[in-house]
Amino acid sequence: EDVFSGVITNMKLEPAILEGTGVYDKSCNMIGNGLTNCDAGIQTEKGLLNFNYKHNMAVQPCIAQGDKLSVRILDSEGNAEVTRG
């Protein structure tokens, strides 16, 4: 499974599982130890989510436009896990 951990930064959502599609991936900055911090746009039935996440691009490519995604909102603070595929 291709799973990313991060935070939804542009809206407050209750814990839920949403189906979505990748729209953008931008603001990717190297932060050290092989990790990159990115912002991905994910279109869901609740609207366009901005998902801020860290990942190792050598192991997991960035979320891409058109990727089929499952977004699991973990809490009301916006913590989330996004699964690609």
Segment-wise mean pLDDT, segments of 10 residues, the chain, 85 residues: 94 97 96 95 98 95 97 97 96
DSSP state of 30: E
Contact 84, 63 (CB under 8 A): yes
Q: How many CB atoms lie within 10 A of CB 51?
A: 26
Q: What is the pLDDT of residue 1?
A: 65
Q: pTM for this one?
A: 0.95
Burial class (CB in 10 A: 0-12, 13-18, 19+), 42: buried
Q: What is the pLDDT of residue 22?
A: 98
